[in-house]
A = this chain, B = another copy of it.
Amino acid sequence: MESIKAGILGFGTVGCGTYAVLRRNQEEIRRRAGRGIEITRIAVRSVERARAALDALPRTGAAGTPAAGTPAAGMPAAGTPTIDTDFEGLVADPSIDIVVETIGGTERARELVLAAIAHGKHVVTANKALLAIHGTEIFQAAHARGVMVAFEAAVAGGIPIIKALREGLSGNRIEWIAGIINGTTNFILSEMRDRGVDFATALADAQKLGYAEADPTFDIEGVDAAHKLTLMSAIAFGVPIQFDRAYVEGISRLDAIDLRYAEELGYRIKLLGITRRSADGIELRVHPTLIPSKRLIANVEGAMNAVAVQGDAVGTTLYYGKGAGAEPTASAMVADLVDVTRLHTADPEHRTPHLAFQPDQLSDTPILPIDAIKSAYYLRLRVADVTGVLASIATTLADLGISVDALLQKESREGEGETDLVVLTHITLEGNLRRAIAQIETLETVVSPVTLLRTENL
């Protein structure tokens, strides 16, 4: 059968990686997809740079390991793609079935993706920001036009978590998802813990090693994680994409001392994206979170990603792997290309909906504001080292119905007269906890603002 034709918008890390994997594994992909997948056209800003990147790729499969059982030797190489700067021409090209969007950003990418859809092309993309912000519009357009927009690579890189949530767990009422879905921040937190350095030092290291960008804001402030979490939440609960309702708190203000105290209490701090269905609504939040050290997800180190999903039938499942990088992202892009190749001429009824649920049957369950979520908490206070300080704090908490799970009081250094007090609470309403903090901060014996972190017993 003739190959399916695809074009790539952009030829940076993801675009070039996708091309490389498609070419390297072309014979095995053909045996899986039933036909070849051919990149016939690439649109870029710099043709020279793209040409150089393409020429730098190895010409054959992995040395010495031709696809088993197939005559790799003597196979004609896939034709060389056309490379030009005509993005609009690519998305309108009648010879192309699938548009692979890898330019990033939200405005130009939105225009090109909508144009591709309007021209009846299927779209494969890793662009979480695009879908978290313009997903409703894009998926509606794709639905109306009867084309697919596949985005496995948009969440957790090569881990097939979108497929697991959309299809693999479709028998479940999903109860919650908690994920380490940003490798940059997980690398920084691992560095802070392992080497006892502060945030700024760990960030500088991450930048040196290529784990953080020159402007790391989207990663360290939790925005990237919130984009991914928003997509997973929509798929898990059958609600519209509502990125603007997400609570987003990054790690840039995290104090190294809180990692140490957490450790002493048997916890690790991870930047988690958490979305949970409760009787009142859906929690959608990204923030540094204490997790018991023994949990599998607490032991996900470095730039790795992991997503835990709780379903009513399956219980907890966990998915772990590389969340970024050219090849892991390409792995997800190519899996989507294979899926699209299988289903591109199928009746749309035969395809799983973009966001798992029939688009005309979404739920209006609200996203809860942060004050309305329920969590257990870690509070750190600087207090005067005098009799009665603990009693007054405990009374304040008890009066608001907040019970204490554990306490850590550090010995004050000689002559200092002040000490750190750490309180772990049982689960309570965040609004309630914030009222308690406001009262605690008025106490004369409390000499600093209260540091608040959330804990999850996954």
Contacts and interface: CB of A to CB of B under 8 A. Distances in A.
B158 A314 contact: yes
Interface string A278-315: 01000000000000000010011000000000011111
Given A25-B172, A62-B312, A342-B351, A319 B322 contact: no
A25 B173 contact: yes
Contact of A313 (B67, B168, B328, B339): B328
A457 interface: no
Contacts of A169: 158, 160, 331, 335
A318 B317 contact: no
A338 interface: yes
B173 A152 contact: no
Interface residues of A, number: 80
A327 B352 contact: no
A31 B345 CA distance: 23
Nearest to A320: B318
What is the oligomeric copy number?
2
A350 interface: yes
A337 to B, nearest CB: 7
A429 to B, nearest CB: 19
Interface of A: 21-22, 24-25, 28-29, 31-34, 62, 64-65, 67-70, 152, 157-160, 163-164, 167-173, 237-239, 277, 279, 296, 299-300, 311-322, 327-328, 330-335, 337-339, 342-343, 345-347, 349-353, 356-358, 361-365
13 contacts: A25-B172, A31-B361, A33-B170, A62-B173, A163-B163, A163-B164, A170-B334, A171-B333, A296-B320, A314-B327, A315-B322, A315-B328, A318-B318
